[in-house]
Every structure is written in C-alpha cells, then in structure tokens.
C-alpha cells in the first residue's frame, strides 16, 4: 500500500485520538528493517590471498580454533587487474574452493597451484562436486558435496546436471585431502543431503531435499536425517509423526514448502527459524518459524508460519539464489546472512567480479519473522561512490563488423587499453584507444573473442561471436 498525501493532510486536522490510531496504522506500512548491509563482510573478500577472485555457494563453518572455513562452488582463481576485475589470460575457473579466515587474513585453498589450480574437492572422472555444509569431528573436516555432471544446454556457466550427495574428508589443520566417499545410509540417489547441518540437543541434524513432481512442475521438498555422534554412523531419517527410520526410502518430507538448494535453520529462544531464498531465482527472502526442528515447515496456505522479509530489486542480467546464514558472526544480536549473485552474461565477470559474489547482510531473526512489510534490497548497495563508473561502463558499446573485420568501440570516456583474447586465453593484441575507435581484428584465429577494455573509469569484458 502506498502513502496518500491527501489522507495525511486530512488526518492532521482530526482529533488527537484519531491521529493516534492513524500513527498505529501507519507503522504497519513501513518496513521493519530486519536487514542492514554488512559492507565490511563484503569488503573482506576484496583481498583474499592466493588468487581467489569470485565465486558462489558462500557456505561457512566455524572451526574449533576460532577460524572460519568458507566453502565456495565454481570459483575464479587467478590474477586481478583491479579490485573487481580479472585478467582473462591468467585466471581459471575451478568447480570448488575454500577460504580460511582468521583474525587478520583470508586465504584461498584448492588443489594444484595458483598458475594451474584445480578443485579443492577433486573431480570424480567426468563428474565434479559442489560443496554444501560441513562438520569437523576430532581432527577431520567432513564436507558434504553434491556430485554434478556436465550437461550441455548451450548456456555458459549453467551446463550441468545435479546428482546425489557425497562426503569429502580432510585433515585439520592443514586441509590435506584424504578421500571422497558416498553415504551408505543414502540409498535413494534422488536425495541431496548436507544443505544445512545443525547440532541441537543430543543429535546432529542433517537437512536435505528431494525433488517432487506434481503435474508439470518439479521442486525440492525438505527432508531430515540425524546422528548422535558422527556423520559416518548409520543415519536415522524423519518418517513423519515424530518417528524415525533407518531406511531413507521410508523418509517423509517435513512439510509442503518448496525449498531452495541452500538454506539455514537457526535455533533461538526455544524456536526454530528456517531462512531461505525463494526457489527458481525469484528475488525474495523468506523466514519460516516452527516449535520443533522437524517443523512442520509448510506454506502459509497450509497453515505454516512463513514471512516474506525482503525483496531484492531486479537488475539487468543479474540473478540471486541460495541464502545461507553465518551465526558465528554477530552484530548487536543480529546474525550474518548471505545470498549468491550470478549473471546471465558470463564473460562480464572478468570486468566486474561483483556480478559473481555474494551479498552480506545483518539479520534480526525475530524481527524478520514478525515483519509485515518486507525490506527492499539493491544489489548495488555494495558499490559505494561508484555510481558514476557504473553509468560509464553501461554507456560504452563494443561490437564487431564482419564487413570491415574490425571491432567498433564507442563512448570511451578517456584513454583506455583494449586487449583481445581468444576463447582459450591467448592474447591476440593490445592497443590504446580513446573516444570512438575502429580496430581491425583477424577472426581467423578464433571464432570467439574475449574483448577487454580498461581505464581509470573502470573496465568491461565482452564476448564477441561474429557469425
């Protein structure tokens, strides 16, 4: 509902009693500001040692020595050319990585070297892994991970098919890789477990999802397993009506609320709160409330208590997904949360890594659960004092003419460097330009070019396919 200025003026002439009623009514029309920007948490990832530049997933695990382990999915490792730009010829994308945070620094870990990195969780033949949540038991780090296979749907950055869950084992400290194993209790390969792991009472609870189809629609529903001591012992699965079973085929969902692939369950003051990003890349953040860890976690239409506490303003080519919470970081009673940002313009990540980095906010959990009007979030909240540069990069145009065999660049604001690479990272040329320019380029060496333009105004990277 929007403000009506006429109504405000009219009520200003009314009695004090009516004014008081209006003030009460008005308060329900204002967002409760359950979220505040955690700019400092975003900025910390501007300076990660050992080549980490950008990634998604953004899952964390507090460690017994006071450090935090950050788990990431597809990650850009390589050389930066600015705070938010990458050298395409000196960077690689691997399928997962971790960053270890202590009081003074953040350091990336993966297999291989900075010049030739490979995934922290090694690939399994033609398949690779995306990490989920993790636990540390004695001196062993155990990372839950979904096995993923390549599937070409002609969409760079999204060519994959998701399978079931495994656990990757590492020594800690040191992060030395041991092995990756399947989960013996998980015989239903349509299930994916490890999205969120919570210790409550005498059990460790392992949340997961399973795809459910109705009509022509498929969505994940929430499932739950538990162990008493170790995730390596036989699991019990929730089977409905406060019963548990050792056979995952008898497991039952915890409610009818569709789940995203990543979410967080937080316990506070005798209540459980499930915090999530809406599924299907819909830019909305929800919090669900229940008296028990088993829920039920239902839609509001089915009697569940779910609250929309934030709406993410849409922005061209950018998408958001997969919220996670990091309650080991606390700010005056608020906990840290993040959600992932990605782009449909894959190659734009080279010129602006903010297109592929999480956004961080401080969340007042109980305030969010009682919100009547959601907060509104902007993905560009993390672009302080850069609105001019963002505007300039949007004005610059780069195109290729098959008739003149040249790149045409317009609206360049100042002296800039143009670099042209083949799709496999070989540099074809580098020249200085300013203003509107036409630069001959021989396309015989590559059917796809990566063109990078950078100057004091910022930088942009674009993929050119002339045919």
What domains does the chain contain, in order, with CATH numbers?
1-30 (no CATH), 35-384 (2.115.10.20), 388-464 (2.60.40.3080)
Please report which helix (H) or strand (E) contains residue 400, including its range: strand 397-401
pLDDT for 405-425, tens place per residue?
889 998 888 888 898 888 777
In the block, which residue shows the tokens 């999205």? 195
Nearest CA-CA partner of 354 in 366, 337, 340, 368: 340
Give the per-residue pLDDT at 172: 98
pLDDT-derived band at 157 (thresholds 50, 70, 90) equals low
Average pLDDT of the residues of the chain: 89
Give the per-residue pLDDT at 102: 97
- List the alpha helices (DSSP H) in 226-323: none
Q: Are 71 and 96 in contact (CB under 8 A)?
A: yes
Residue 256 CA to its chain's centroid (Å):
24
pLDDT at 449 over 90: no
pLDDT for 56-92, tens place per residue?
999 999 999 999 999 999 999 999 988 999 999 899 9
Nearest CA-CA partner of 67 in 111, 28, 99, 24: 99
pLDDT-derived band at 13 (thresholds 50, 70, 90) equals very low
Q: Output the six-digit token pair for 446.
A: 């590559």
pLDDT at 467 over 90: no
pLDDT-derived band at 7 (thresholds 50, 70, 90) equals very low
- Lowest-pLDDT range, 97-101, 113-117, 353-357, 384-388? 384-388
Q: Output the six-digit token pair for 292.
A: 């028990």
pLDDT for 204-230, tens place per residue?
999 999 999 988 889 999 999 999 999
Q: What is the pTM of this model?
A: 0.82
- Listed in sequence order, the residues at least 6 apart from 332 whose beta carbon sits closer than 8 Å to its beta carbon are none
Q: CA-to-CA distance for 374 and 360, rounded, in angstroms? A: 17
End-to-end CA distance of the chain, in Å?
49
Share of the chain above pLDDT 90, in %: 69
Give the per-residue pLDDT at 21: 34
pLDDT at 95 over 60: yes
Q: How many helices (H) and strands (E) does the chain have?
A: 5, 32
- 445 φ, ψ (degrees, to nearest 5): -80, -15
Q: Are 54 and 84 in contact (CB under 8 A)?
A: no
pLDDT-derived band at 15 (thresholds 50, 70, 90) equals very low
Catalogue the long-range contacts made by 135-141 (C-beta closer than 8 Å, 24 or more residues apart): 135/61, 135/197, 135/204, 135/231, 136/61, 136/63, 136/64, 136/172, 137/230, 137/231, 139/171, 139/172, 140/169, 140/170, 140/171, 140/172, 140/178, 141/61, 141/69, 141/169, 141/170, 141/171, 141/172, 141/175
């Amino acid at each position: 509902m929007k403000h009506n200025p006429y109504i405000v003026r009219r009520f200003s002439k009314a009695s004090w009693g009516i004014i008081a009623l209006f003030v009460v009514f008005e308060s329900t029309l204002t967002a409760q500001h359950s979220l505040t920007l955690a700019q400092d948490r975003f900025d910390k990832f501007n300076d990660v040692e050992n080549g980490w530049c950008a990634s998604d997933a953004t899952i964390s695990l507090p460690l017994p020595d006071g450090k935090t382990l950050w788990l990431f999915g597809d990650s850009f490792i390589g050389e930066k050319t600015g705070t938010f730009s990458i050298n395409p010829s000196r960077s690689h994308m691997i399928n997962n990585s971790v960053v270890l945070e202590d009081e003074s620094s953040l350091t990336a870990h993966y297999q291989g070297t900075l010049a030739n990195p490979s995934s922290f969780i090694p690939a399994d033949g033609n398949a690779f892994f995306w990490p989920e949540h993790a636990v540390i038991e004695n001196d062993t780090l155990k990372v839950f991970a979904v096995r993923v296979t390549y599937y070409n749907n002609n969409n760079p950055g999204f060519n994959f098919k998701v399978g079931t869950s495994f656990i990757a084992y590492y020594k800690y400290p040191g992060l030395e890789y041991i092995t990756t194993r399947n989960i013996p209790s998980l015989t239903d390969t349509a299930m994916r477990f490890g999205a969120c792991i919570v210790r409550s009472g005498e059990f460790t609870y392992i949340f997961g999802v399973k795809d459910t189809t109705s009509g022509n629609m498929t969505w994940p529903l929430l499932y739950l397993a538990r162990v008493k001591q170790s995730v390596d012992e036989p699991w019990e699965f929730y089977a409905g009506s406060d019963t548990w079973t050792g056979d995952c085929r008898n497991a039952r969902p915890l409610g009818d609320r569709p789940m995203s692939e990543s979410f967080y369950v937080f316990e506070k003051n005798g209540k459980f709160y499930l915090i999530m990003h809406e599924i299907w890349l819909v830019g909305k953040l929800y919090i669900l409330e229940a008296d028990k860890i088993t829920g039920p976690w239902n839609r509001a239409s089915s009697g569940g208590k779910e609250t929309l506490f934030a709406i993410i303003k849409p922005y061209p080519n950018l998408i958001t997904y997969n919220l996670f919470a990091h309650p080991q970081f606390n700010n005056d009673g608020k906990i840290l949360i993040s959600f992932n940002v990605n782009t449909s313009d894959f190659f734009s990540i080279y010129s602006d890594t903010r297109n592929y980095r999480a956004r961080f906010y401080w969340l007042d959990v109980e305030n969010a659960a009682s919100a009547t009007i959601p907060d509104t979030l902007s993905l560009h909240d993390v672009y302080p004092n850069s609105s001019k540069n963002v505007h300039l990069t949007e004005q610059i145009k780069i195109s290729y003419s098959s008739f003149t065999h040249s790149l045409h660049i317009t609206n360049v604001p100042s002296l800039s460097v143009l670099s042209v690479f083949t799709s496999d990272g070989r540099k074809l040329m580098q020249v200085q330009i300013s203003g509107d320019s036409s630069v001959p380029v021989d396309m015989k060496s590559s059917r796809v070019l990566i063109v990078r333009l950078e100057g004091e105004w910022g930088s942009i990277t674009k993929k050119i396919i002339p045919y």
